[in-house]
Chain A
Amino acid sequence: MAATSSSATIAIPGQLLGPASKFQPGPGTHIHESNLYSSLLGLVHVNQPTKAPGPVKRLNKITPAPPPAELPTISVSRSAVSDKRETLPEVGNTVLCRVIRITPRQAVVAILICGETVLDAEWQGLIRVQDVRATEKDRVKIYESFRPGDIVRAEVVSFLSPTLPFTRRFYADAAY
Chain B
Amino acid sequence: MTDRRRVNGPVGSTNPPVFEDEPEQEFGAQKGIRTRTPTATRKMYLKTGVTPSASGSAYLEIEASRKGAVSGLKLSCTVHGPRSLPRSTPFSPHIILSTHVKYAPFATKQRRGYIRDPTERDLGSHLETALRGAIIADRWPKSGVDIIISIVEGDHDRETSKSQGGEAWDMMNALSGCITVASAALADAGIDCVDTVAGGVAALVRDEGDDTTPRIVIDPIPSEHEQILAACCVAYLPDRDEITNLWFKGDLPASDMELYSQLVEKGIQASRNSNEVIVNSLLISTREQQPHERHDGTTRMHIAFNLQR
Contact (Cβ within 8 A) A14 B238: yes
Chain A proximity of B196: nearest CB distance (Å):
5
Q: Of the 9-residue stretches A46-54, A120-128, A139-147, which lies at the interface with chain B?
A: A120-128
Q: Which residues of B contact A74 (CB under 8 A)?
A: none
B84→A122 contact, CB < 8 A? yes
Q: Which of A63-71, A159-167, A168-176 contacts B (4 or more CB under 8 A)?
A: A159-167
B296 cross-chain contacts in A, Cβ below 8 A: 7
Partner of B193, one of A7, A10, A14, A123: A14
Tell me which of B19-27, B33-41, B112-120, B274-282 binds A.
Answer: B274-282
Is B109 close to A, CB under 8 A?
A: no
Residues of chain B lying within 8 A (CB to CB) of residue A56: none
Whether A41 pairs with B287 at a CB distance below 8 angstroms is no
In chain B, positions 185-231 with a C-beta closer than 8 Å to chain A are 187-190, 192-196
Query: A81 interface residue, CB < 8 Å from B?
Result: yes
Residues of chain B with a CB closer than 8 A to A80's CB? 290-291
- Which of A10, A12, A32 gathers the greatest number of chain B CB atoms within 10 Å? A12
Contacts of B190 in A (CB 8 A): 40-42, 78, 82, 84-86
Is A2 engaged at the interface, CB distance under 8 Å to the other chain? Answer: yes
List of B residues within 8 angstroms of A32 by Cβ:
194, 240
Q: How far is the CA of A74 from the CA of B136 in the complex (A)?
A: 18
Give every chain B residue within 8 A of A130 (Cβ-Cβ): none
Indicate whether A13 sits within 8 Å of B286 (C-beta atoms), given known contacts A120-B83, A160-B93.
no
The answer to whether A62 has its CB under 8 Å from any CB of chain B is no
Q: Is the CB of A86 within 8 A of B81?
A: yes
Whether B142 contacts A41 by the Cβ 8 Å rule is no
**Given A3-B279, A39-B194, are A120 and B55 also a contact pair (CB < 8 Å)?**
yes
Of A2, A121, A160, A165, most buried by chain B (CB within 10 Å of CB) is A121
A88 CB within 8 Å of chain B: yes
Docked pose: A81 CA to B48 CA in angstroms: 13
Distance A39 CA – B137 CA, assembled complex (angstroms) = 11
Which one of B187, B189, B279 contacts A1 once the chains associate, using CB atoms below 8 Å? B279
* A interface list, Cβ under 8 A from B: 1-3, 6-7, 9-10, 12-16, 28, 30, 32, 37, 39-43, 78, 80-82, 84-86, 88, 120-124, 159-160, 162-163, 165
